[in-house]
Amino acid sequence: MKTLVWVEHDGKAVKDATLAVVTAASKLGEVHLLVAGSGVDAVAKEAAQIAGVGKVHVADNAAFDHNLPENVAPLVAELMASHDAFLAPATTTGKNIAPRVAALLDVMQISEILSVEGPKTFTRPIYAGNAIATVESSDAKLVLTVRGTAFDKAATSGGSGTVEAVGAGSDAGVSSFVGAEIAKQDRPELTSAKIIVSGGRALGSSEKYQEVIVPLADKLNAALGASRAAVDAGYVPNDYQVGQTGKIVAPQVYFAIGISGAIQHLAGMKDSKTVVAINKDEDAPIFQVADFGLVADLFSAVPDLTAKI
């Protein structure tokens, strides 16, 4: 089987999310990559180094900048004439593009695969991870999005892919990019961080989040997260949200501070290797999934922890 993997990049470098997708694709067959955008030579060269990569298709055209799906999907659909499976990371970019490709190919997409069980059989979460479905496609071609935390990352070196330019592509003329407000963070991204410190509604305010959660995260070089309750209460922006409707994370260590552990939050973090919970309510559901639970007032325990760790 020949697979085509969407390379997520920022115009300068390959994003980590791509690497897990390469691993998933390699379980299906030959791995080809697609790098789309203008001035992406450096990205293509970097992508060719990823272990196990065969060909790197490069579509150099400004129409593909900002990943506009109206322009990108027809390009992918065209390349799929000579590939059997299209795989994209289950990031907001991948989720935006892949279904558009699938519909152009008249294929039913399989979203957020967790494992490859056979050439057309996969597992995927449904009901926010409260159930796992094993599904089998009957379509001639596959379109898949891949949950990054479910697959190991392919090595970023050792590969010797060949770079090949493909079709000029065109601007469909129905959409354009206006601007972005990307939160600039001098800390790891939530979805790729080794340690995450998350705060919940028990913090009571945005100030307390800054005062209690941020110093611990700073000390551990951790990403910052939050429960939906904390986001809804306005303590932090929405992109901090871990959970069913936010980000799905699986760090080495996850600190849940003042988070009760609603189903919707657990759905986003229960694959973390080690969970540390600090909550003053000893009956909080979070303790049922925590490896280390500390029943304590977070306003004194967390600064103490920050000082001693």
Stretch that binds another protein, among 28-36, 38-46, 175-183, 204-212 (CB under 8 A): 175-183
Name residues contacting another protein, limited to 86-145 (CB under 8 A): 91-93, 95-104, 106-112, 121, 125-139
Residues 204-233 binding another protein (CB under 8 A) are 219-220
Quick one: which segment of 55-63, 153-161, 162-170, 236-244 binds another protein (CB under 8 A)?
236-244
* 239 in contact with another protein (CB under 8 A): yes
**Neighbour order of strands in the sheet with 85-89:** 110-113, 142-146, 85-89, 2-6, 30-37, 53-60, 162-165
Contact 221, 237 (CB under 8 A): no
Q: Beta strands 53-60 and 30-37: pairing type?
A: parallel
Q: Are 227 and 246 in contact (CB under 8 A)?
A: no
Tell which one of 81, 157, 160, 182 touches another protein (CB under 8 A): 182
CA distance 60 to 235: 41
Tokens of 199: 């705060």
Strand partners, 165: 58
Structure tokens at 250: 């699986």
Nearer to another protein, 41 or 304 (CB): 304
305 part of the interface to another protein, by CB under 8 A: yes
Work out whether 69 is an interface residue with another protein (CB under 8 A): yes
Q: Tell me whether residue 3 or residue 192 sits nearer to another protein (CB atom).
A: 192
Which residue, 42 or 289, is less far from another protein as judged by CB?
289
Q: Where are the alpha helices (DSSP H) in 184-227?
A: 206-208, 214-220
* Residues contacting another protein: total by CB under 8 A: 87
Q: How far is the CB of 267 from another protein (least distance, A)?
A: 9
R_g (Cα) of the chain, nearest Å: 21
Q: Is 174 in the site for another protein (CB under 8 A)?
A: yes
Number of other CB atoms surrounding residue 207 within 10 Å? 10
Is there binding between residue 19 and another protein (CB under 8 A)?
A: no
What is the phi/psi pair of residue 302, to 5°? -70, -45
Cα distance between residue 126 and residue 292, in whole Å: 28
Bridge partners of 85, per DSSP, are 3, 142
Nearer to another protein, 163 or 172 (CB): 172
- By CB under 8 A, what part of segment 251-270 binds another protein? 252-253, 263-264, 270
Contact 97, 88 (CB under 8 A): yes
Answer for which of 82, 176, 205, 206 binds another protein (CB under 8 A) is 176
Nearest-approach distance from CB 92 to another protein, in angstroms? 4
| The only residue of 25, 195, 250, 259 in contact with another protein, by rule CB under 8 A | 195
Would you put residue 168 in left (φ > 0), alpha (ψ -120 to 50) or beta? alpha
Q: Does residue number 177 form part of the binding site for another protein (CB under 8 A)?
A: yes
| CB closer to another protein out of 56 and 250 | 250
In the list 157, 160, 173, 283, the residue contacting another protein (rule: CB under 8 A) is: 173
CA distance 108 to 189: 31
Q: Is 51 in the site for another protein (CB under 8 A)?
A: no
Q: At closest approach, how far in Å is the CB of 246 from another protein?
A: 8
- Please, what is the minimum distance in Å from the beta carbon of residue 18 to another protein? 13
